[in-house]
């Protein structure tokens, strides 16, 4: 009888241990990623004008890399070892000043398009197995910042735009942005809503202008919000505004910044437009020890285990940028340094992406340029 008891307790112990192992493997922390592969990108990064984005261009659930140089968009596909160029879109030389472009599934067919803004035109490139289909649409405004996402939470994507009546130029000081929500159905562009309420976003020639950052359930509350950053200098904490879709329009609900590693929130539509805030602050000196480390610039969202996680950059006391993973729940923020990712230079986030390169799930894709050549290299962590 005691024998049976011992065997039974052993069995229970083994079952308990197995259960623990199971739960550990399913709740992997984003800070625990490790390097899966590395190699070359198969494209040169010659100039500072090169911009890189990723997109799910075909129906294979994989992310492709899009490299925009002065006159070409090059599409790279991962072949299990490295990245090879599979398509090129040549941009007409006299249109090579295209600065605004984005990617996303605008027609809601489960694969992303490349969307380019040329003057008052919206040009949509849709990749099929054979080639890119190009469609061009007239639009009443010049576009300064663009995003694709589901802002009204109906599971279909819209195009969100900062628009201007005037073309971008040095003379356009204090120009007001019109925040437009655009639907793309049946090969037609329709403006669903535009900012008639004076949300207060402005272009600037003094600091980098206000910018559309992402459309995501940033606070993990169950509904998507538009995240917009206020214009700022390179050495001050970014002010993030959250906008909700309410009764067919966008409303500012909250703003926040992250200083000393914790979240400071401001509330809602009663907040002054950010430009006023900046004017008030101009000339004031920040005490370094009071704000570092602070969160700066873009946020790249990913959905992991049903939670929104964001890649971001913190600035430390030595003004070094540290890549971090952020999780926000209401007014609480959890920030983890990505110590396993070595970064160089001033803007590491521009070269870090959440990507599914091989069809086996998302991880962190890091792109770098070697010191002594223009050859781009990649590392992938999962």
The secondary element (H helix, E strand) that includes residue 35 is: strand 35-44
Nearest CB to Ca ion, comparing residues 109 and 331 = 109
Strand partners, 202: 176
Question: In angstroms, how far is CA 102 from the centroid of its own chain?
Answer: 10
Could you tell me which of 294, 316, 300, 312 has the C-alpha nearest to residue 237? 294
Closest to Ca ion by CB, 152 vs 202, is: 152
Q: Which is nearer to Ca ion, 108 or 220 (CB)?
A: 108
Cβ distance to Ca ion smaller for residue 149 or 209: 149
Query: What's the DSSP call for residue 110?
Result: S
CA dist 181 and 147 (Å) reads: 10
**How far apart, in whole angstroms, are the C-alpha atoms of residue 295 and residue 323?**
10
Q: Which residues pair with 328 in a beta bridge?
A: 333
* Contact present, 243 and 252 (Cβ < 8 Å): yes
**CA distance readout (Å), 341 to 99, 144, 321, 337, 348:** 29, 32, 12, 9, 10
DSSP class per residue in 7-50: HHHHHHHHHHHHHHHHHHHHS--GGG--EEEEEEEEEE--STT-
CA distance 127 to 115: 12
Q: How far is the CB of 299 from Ca ion (least distance, A)?
A: 20
333 three-state secondary structure: strand
- The answer to whether residues 372 and 38 touch, using CB atoms and an 8 Å cutoff, is no
Closer to Ca ion at the Cβ: 155 or 270? Answer: 155
The residue ranges that bind Ca ion (CB under 5 A) are 105, 107, 109, 111, 150, 152, 154, 156
CB of 183 to Ca ion, least distance (A): 8
Question: Rounded to the nearest 5 degrees, what angle is found at the Cα of 336, between the Cα atoms of 37 and 322?
Answer: 75
Q: Which is nearer to Ca ion, 126 or 210 (CB)?
A: 126
Q: How far is the CB of 204 from Ca ion (least distance, A)?
A: 30
Least separation in angstroms between CB 113 and Ca ion = 5
User: Looking at beta carbons only, is 105 or 379 nearer to Ca ion?
Assistant: 105
Least distance between Ca ion and beta carbon 223 (Å): 11
Strands (E), 218-281: 225-229, 240-246, 249-259, 262-267
Closest CB to Ca ion among 75 and 311?
75
Least Å from the CB of residue 104 to Ca ion: 8
Residue 60 CB, shortest distance to Ca ion, in Å, is 14
Distance in angstroms (rounded) separating the CA atoms of residues 224 and 38: 34
d(CA 172, CA 93): 25
Least separation in angstroms between CB 300 and Ca ion: 20
Residues β-bridged to residue 295: 314
* Min dist. Cβ of residue 62 to Ca ion (A): 15
Q: Give the shortest CB-56-to-Ca ion separation in angstroms.
A: 9
Q: What are phi and psi of 71, to 5 degrees?
A: -125, 5
State which residue, 107 or 144, has the beta carbon closest to Ca ion: 107
Q: Report the residue number, 70 or 109, with the smaller CB distance to Ca ion.
A: 109
């Amino acid at each position: 009888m005691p024998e049976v008891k011992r065997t039974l307790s052993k069995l229970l112990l083994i079952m308990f241990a197995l259960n623990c192992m199971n739960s550990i493997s399913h709740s992997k922390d984003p800070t625990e990623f490790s390097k899966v592969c590395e190699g070359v990108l198969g494209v040169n990064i010659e100039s500072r004008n090169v911009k890189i984005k990723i997109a799910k261009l075909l129906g294979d659930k994989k992310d492709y890399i899009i490299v925009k140089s002065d006159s070409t968009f090059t599409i790279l596909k991962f072949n299990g070892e490295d990245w090879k160029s599979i398509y090129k879109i040549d941009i007409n030389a006299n249109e090579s000043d295209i600065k605004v472009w984005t990617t996303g599934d605008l027609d809601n067919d489960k694969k992303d398009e490349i969307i380019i803004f040329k003057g008052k035109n919206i040009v949509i490139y849709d990749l099929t197995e054979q080639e890119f289909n190009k469609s061009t649409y007239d639009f009443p405004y010049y576009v300064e910042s663009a995003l694709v996402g589901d802002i009204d939470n109906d599971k279909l994507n819209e195009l969100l735009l900062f628009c201007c009546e005037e073309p971008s130029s040095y003379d356009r000081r204090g120009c007001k942005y019109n925040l437009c929500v655009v639907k793309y159905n049946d090969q037609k562009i329709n403006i669903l809503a535009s900012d008639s309420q004076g949300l207060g976003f402005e272009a600037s020639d003094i600091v980098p202008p206000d910018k559309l950052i992402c459309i995501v359930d940033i606070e993990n509350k169950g509904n998507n919000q538009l995240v917009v950053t206020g214009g700022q200098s390179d050495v001050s904490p970014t002010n993030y505004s959250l906008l909700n879709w309410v009764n067919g329009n966008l409303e500012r609900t909250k703003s926040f910044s992250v200083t000393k590693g914790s979240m400071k929130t401001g509330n809602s539509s009663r907040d002054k437009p950010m430009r006023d805030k900046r004017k008030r602050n101009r000339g004031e000196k920040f005490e370094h020890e009071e704000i570092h480390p602070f969160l700066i610039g873009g946020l790249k969202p990913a959905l992991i285990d049903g939670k929104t996680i964001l890649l971001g950059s913190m600035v430390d006391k030595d003004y070094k940028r540290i890549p971090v993973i952020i999780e926000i729940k209401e007014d609480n923020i959890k920030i983890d340094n990505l110590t396993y990712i070595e970064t160089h230079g001033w803007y590491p986030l521009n070269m870090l992406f959440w990507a599914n390169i091989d069809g086996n799930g998302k991880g962190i894709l890091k792109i770098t340029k070697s010191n002594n050549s223009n050859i781009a290299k990649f590392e992938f962590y999962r």
